[in-house]
Amino acid sequence: MLNKETKKKIIFDSILVLVLLVISLSALYFVFSNRSVGSVVEVSVNGEKVGEYSLYKDGEYTLNGGTNVLKIEDGRAYMIYADCPDKTCVRKGKIYYIGDDLTCLPNRVRVEILE
């Protein structure tokens, strides 16, 4: 049998966990509900802008002399090829929200979604 003080601690801990859970879920909702879908992809190599493509026009674009290939399809952009060893930019998947980006550090290529 639990004594009175132990019961109070269990109740307090349960309330604390519940409050932290509500705060965490609220923060996640706020972060993900305010995201807007972009319409333009900006490509830069070595920090210099080299191209801008519409997310509304499907196509494949060779970047940085062939080190990367960007594909735009159905309003989403994703890297389908990179000659770097880790392929992080390829594995990242499709991006379409304003501020999302794909970065290939070895090739110094950055793809970012703009308004």
pTM: 0.74
Tens-binned pLDDT, residue by residue, of the chain (115 aa): 778 889 899 999 999 999 999 999 999 998 888 889 999 999 999 999 999 999 999 999 999 999 999 999 999 999 999 999 999 999 999 999 999 999 999 999 999 999 8
Shared domain check, 90 and 76: yes
Shared domain check, 87 and 52: yes
**Which residues are 2's β-sheet partners?**
none
Shared domain check, 3 and 26: yes
Distance of alpha carbon 108 from alpha carbon 43, whole angstroms:
11
Domain coverage including residue 68: 40-114
Which stretches of the chain are assigned E, i.e. beta strand? 40-45, 48-54, 59-63, 68-73, 76-82, 101-104, 109-114
